[in-house]
Structure 1
Amino acid sequence: MVRHSNRFWEIDCLRGFAVILMLGYHFLYDLDFFGLTDIELRSGTLLYIGRGSAFLFILISGTALSISRSRALVRGDLGNTEENFSKYLKRGLRLFSMGMIITGITWIFFPGQYILFGILHFFGVSAVLAYPFLKYGKENLLFSLFFVLIGFYLKKRTFEFSALLWMGFRPEGFTTLDYFPLFPWFGVLLAGIFLGNSIYKGGNRQFEVPEADKFLLPKLISRVGEHSLFIYFIHQPLFLGFLFLSGLLDPGML
């Protein structure tokens, strides 16, 4: 067993890589959305880059939840189930609240496509729903497959109700700038929990990796990954600010 410090640089590095992919995709998306360039973003390579970034974020989130629980077990902090669950509940509420702020902003500026259940809403809900799954090992692969398969089944279908939109039951005519329903994305998070319980058992690496200090680029990318939530929350206002200041975007276009 290999013991290390509180943070695993390889996880932060993957998260940082996901941030870089996200920034590139969203900047191109903004250029296309405001008619500043003509890029096919809803299909082809660029779409896979955007989805690949989200996939990494969600997979790593599941792994991080697993590591957090494993370390709590080692410390003996799980004696009080209600107290332990409240930690996940508070985190979920915080992330969901941040998602609702984005809902409000997009509702003001983009009323026809405002975000109802984007990735922050997803993280908020899944942080709570993941709690009972954290104790499972290989079983999470089956649960993961279930969510993914149902998600693919629902993807090409629409329904006459909107109450279950957050699960993946899209109402007819639904359009949005960002949408991450539980089916299939919760399956990706469960796969991350499985990885965490397998290769970070007990909250420790079960494999050897060189120290990040030996490699400048991974070290820098890891720093980005450590602040992924903050970067996610501010990157779009910064992009829009840049487009305004550069003269490429007229405020009247919003």
Structure 2
Amino acid sequence: MTDSPVIARPRFAVIDIARGVAIIAMVAYHLCWDLSFFRFIAPDVGRDPNWVLIARSILAVFLFLVGIGLVLGHGRGIRWPAFWRRTLFVVLGAFAITLGTWLVFPDSFVYFGVLHAIALFSILALPFLAAPLWLVAAVAAVVIGLPFFFADALFNEKLFSWIGFWQVPPPTNDLVPVFPWLGAVLIGVITARLVLASPLAARLAAITPSGRLPHLLAVLGRWSLLIYLLHQPILLAMVYPASAVLHPEIAMRRTDFLGSCQSTCLAGGTTAPLCTTYCQCGLEGVEANDLWNAIYSGLVSAQEQMILDASNRQCSALIYPELNTAQ
């Protein structure tokens, strides 16, 4: 690699458009995460396997594009002033996210999230912009594959978790460790270098946004880092006040109670209509006697247990009238 003045490659609009699509997908995911956290929607976006797969897919694309961007910007020689300006911006953004999440989510603040990873991975990937492609591919394979074969409790600690290899990740709302995610950046580096060395590069460079949507996506792609930095505070500024006014957790806890009750009731062999009647009766009993804390905490006093037992008998008699005569 050289630090002499170099000529940057022309900007590829198709890459900007891809970044625009990726940043929209990430904003949409974070909106769903916020809605889930404040109980506007039922799925646990942070833990549900399908949502986790969506999040990792978006992240993989985002980091893949980081690798492509490194080659396009510095593949003919590193433009150090531009590189350090961008890296400093990303580092400051990462610090802002750490500080902001520490204030809002002190038990699960982001200490090594997407922006932290982009800053570090951009530096780690620099030697691979000119290394033999076989070496880049080999390192990418090791970085991606090694976590499948090695894990150690040492990496469960926050101090070392950013490397990867944990057995149980520490609590945090976002963690993008070197292993395996640096591999996504290196795959982007490989892809960009192969494309630029082929006739496909000229055809891709000739693509220009010709409609409103492609042009909008290209603009969003050019400002993707700034959008990433600002979008979550903006989303929280809308979702949090709405939750304080609408109290979605109240409606959601009713939904949770009815769903859990219905599943248990059906598993016992009772028909669905009778289970619906029984569970609705149980919900009315919980609300009438303000037993939500007992239900969710599992800490039930003797008096509360008596009320729950009485409510259970009453609701059982409602769907099985013969219980009344038996009593």
User: How would you bin the TM-score normalised by the shorter chain?
Assistant: 0.7 to 0.9
Asked if residue 164 in structure 1 is aligned to residue 160 in structure 2, the reply is: yes
Which residue number corresponds to residue 58 of structure 2? 53
Asked if residue 143 in structure 1 is aligned to residue 147 in structure 2, the reply is: no
Report the Cα distance in structure 2 between the residues aligned to 1:5 and 1:129, rounded to whole angstroms.
21
Q: Structure 1's 44 and 163: CA in aligned 2 closer, same or farther, altered over 3 A?
A: closer
Backbone CA RMSD of aligned residues: 2.9
Which residue number corresponds to residue 242 of structure 1? 238
Which residue number corresponds to residue 191 of structure 1? 187
Unpaired runs of 5+ residues, structure 1, are 73-77, 79-83
Which residue number corresponds to residue 27 of structure 1? 31
Identical counterparts, % of pairs: 27
Which residue number corresponds to residue 67 of structure 1? 72
Structure with bigger RCO (C-alpha 8 Å, 6+ apart): 1
Q: Structure 1's 153 and 38: CA in aligned 2 closer, same or farther, altered over 3 A?
A: farther
Report the Cα distance in structure 2 between the residues aligned to 1:86 and 1:182, rounded to whole angstroms.
25
The residue identity in structure 1 corresponding to 2:97 is I
> 1:100 deviation in Å?
1.6
Aligned ranges 1:95-244 → 2 under 5 Å = 95-136=90-131, 137-153=133-149, 158-159=153-154, 161-170=157-166, 174-201=170-197, 206-209=201-204, 211-244=207-240
Q: Structure 1's 30 and 162: CA in aligned 2 closer, same or farther, altered over 3 A?
A: closer
Report the Cα distance in structure 2 between the residues aligned to 1:87 and 1:219, rounded to whole angstroms.
25
Report the Cα distance in structure 2 between the residues aligned to 1:47 and 1:109, rounded to whole angstroms.
22
Partner SS state of residue 238, structure 1: helix
Which residue number corresponds to residue 81 of structure 1? none
> 1:197 deviation in Å?
1.2
CA contact (8 A) 2:14 2:207 kept: no
CA contact (8 A) 2:9 2:73 kept: no
> 1:233 deviation in Å?
0.7
Report the Cα distance in structure 1 between the residues aligned to 2:209 and 2:102, rounded to whole angstroms.
44
Report the Cα distance in structure 2 between the residues aligned to 1:132 and 1:5, rounded to whole angstroms.
19
Report the Cα distance in structure 2 between the residues aligned to 1:108 and 1:8, rounded to whole angstroms.
39
Report the Cα distance in structure 2 between the residues aligned to 1:139 and 1:96, rounded to whole angstroms.
28
The residue identity in structure 2 corresponding to 1:24 is A
> 1:23 deviation in Å?
1.2
Partner SS state of residue 32, structure 1: helix
> 1:50 deviation in Å?
1.9
Q: Which has the larger radius of gyration?
A: 2
Report the Cα distance in structure 1 between the residues aligned to 2:121 and 2:9, rounded to whole angstroms.
26
> 1:205 deviation in Å?
5.7
TM-score, normalized by length of structure 1? 0.81
> 1:200 deviation in Å?
2.2
TM-score, normalized by length of structure 2? 0.64
